[in-house]
A = this chain, B = another copy of it.
Amino acid sequence: MSYCEKSYPTEPTAPTVTTTQIPGPASTKAIENLGKVFDARPCYFVADYEKSIGNYIVDLDGNTFLDLYAQIASIALGYNNPDLIKAAKSPEMIRALVERPAIGNFPGKDLEGILKQLLKFAPKGQDHIWSGLSGADANELAFKAAFMYYRSKQRGYNTEFSTQENESVMDNVSPGSPSLAVLSFKKAFHGRLFASGSVTCSKPIHKLDFPSFHWPHAEYPYYQYPLDKHTAENKKEDDRCLQIVEKLITSWEVPVAALIIEPVQSEGGDNHASAYFLQKLREITLKHNVVYIIDEVQTGVGATGKFWCHEYANITPPPDLVTFSKKFQSAGYWFHDPQFIPNKAYRQFNTWCGDPARMIIAGAIGQEIVDNKLVDQVQRVGKYLIDELAKVSEKYPQYLQRLRGKGTFIAWDLPTGEQRDLFLKKLKLNGCNVGGCSDKSVRLRPTLTFEEKHVDIFIAAVNKTLKDF
């Protein structure tokens, strides 16, 4: 019995779309009403989560879509998962919701168990966790850890702050508030607050009008596909980008304290970094005392066919900090060097320090993935999916360019952004909810419970869409 047969016995056998437009009339009216109290302009449709099940999302018009977007890559197990419902109804959850604790000062007796449950799913080489609330929050908390670590290496971990540091920091000037940078990559997406916004660089609309830190953006390798037919060019591309990274680190106007990278740039167009590239970054960061941060916010939690995508690269020694959010429903960073715990209490601190309610859900998601070997399933289904897409690509090479992916974390390009948008729109009318990324890419982000039967439905919808395209 497959996972979906077991967990979603009432999952539909096929999508049904009965309206001629998406959003349909009921969604359109609901969006209009919602627009009076909320910025509803980006809404695709209004969902009925009561009726959504497994890999299918239902809208207010009763349209039932096979969901390969999954709340912007944030649903690991599908809708109305019985094990998550159980976790949501647990006494531990009720307490976490009603007695939201300031876990730094007054942790509850449940906290140790909640954290230990999460630590079972740490990336290879990591054995500590610090919790936050969102991907942007996780990355900024990681930056704080990185800056403290970087300065503690200069100052000495146990050295007291100087009077000058204690005074100058209150005026937001050096040395207490040092001029240091985080290096990221062009097309990167790491969140939309001010420090995370400064390392984000995928689209102007995310950043316009906000002051930012003047931090450098290196170039992320852009490969030719299929990879096995372009080994030499892609290696050359890696080396070109590595040179840029090292040059920026050694020549930027302020010292570079940390480097942050997505193993696959997601919002930026599903650009993959090779194992070679990610390993070389480890060598460069060690050489120049730069903290190495891997952002697994979108790539983490199984969809790439590894629990954590950077495990494909077997980075040695492991990266210093690994951030997570989205499909874990919670957020935070992993680390292994205990000196990433600052020398004094209250330096990495805030009122809530994360949300135990969301951590409980994360623990239940991780357990379900492991117990049901869903990462293995993603590898198997992903292989089937990309092979089937390769067949479609042979028929319609112009509409499936640069087909690429790991697990079910797959993307391809259309010739233009207009065509991509039209393709996604028609695909919705053919029953599949899919998202785009960057200018002209299609990104698939199904849940980990996506099975071969769903692949067949999706491929049929793609073929149908392209037939009259």
Contacts A93-B97, A346-B205 given: A215-B172 contact, CB under 8 Å?
Answer: yes
Q: Is the CB of A134 within 8 A of B350?
A: yes
Q: In the docked arrangement, what's the CA distance between A106 and B434, Å?
A: 12
Contacts A43-B107, A97-B84, A112-B30 given: A194-B194 contact, CB under 8 Å?
Answer: yes
Q: Which residues of B contact A106 (CB under 8 A)?
A: 43-47, 57, 71
In A92-133, which residues have CB < 8 Å from any B CB? 93-95, 97-112, 115-116, 119, 128-130, 133
Q: Which residue of B lies closest to A152 (CB)?
A: B209
Q: In the docked arrangement, what's the CA distance between A206 and B166, Å?
A: 11
Q: Taking the complex as formed, is A151 at the interface, i.e. its CB lies under 8 A from any CB of chain B?
A: yes
Contacts A33-B112, A47-B106, A169-B204 given: A345-B39 contact, CB under 8 Å?
Answer: yes
Q: Which residues of B contact A191 (CB under 8 A)?
A: 350
Q: Is the CB of B137 within 8 A of A72?
A: no
Q: Taking the complex as formed, is A3 at the interface, i.e. its CB lies under 8 A from any CB of chain B?
A: no
Interface size class of A (residues with CB under 8 A): 35 or more
Q: How far is the CB of A52 from chain B (nearest CB, A)?
A: 7
Q: Is the CB of B133 within 8 A of A133?
A: yes
Q: Which residue of B lies closest to A167 (CB)?
A: B204
Q: Is the CB of B136 within 8 A of A72?
A: no
Q: In the docked arrangement, what's the CA distance between A41 and B48, Å?
A: 44
Q: Taking the complex as formed, is A467 at the interface, i.e. its CB lies under 8 A from any CB of chain B?
A: no
Q: Which residues of B contact A140 (CB under 8 A)?
A: 193-194
Q: Which residue of B lies closest to A329 (CB)?
A: B100
Q: Which residue of B lies closest to A34 (CB)?
A: B112
Q: Taking the complex as formed, is A232 at the interface, i.e. its CB lies under 8 A from any CB of chain B?
A: no
Q: Which residue of B lies closest to A129 (CB)?
A: B37
In A174-203, which residues have CB < 8 Å from any B CB? 176-181, 186, 191-195, 198, 201
A-B contact pairs, 12 of them (CB 8 A): A37-B119, A39-B130, A39-B349, A45-B106, A46-B111, A49-B110, A72-B351, A133-B134, A170-B217, A172-B214, A205-B347, A206-B347
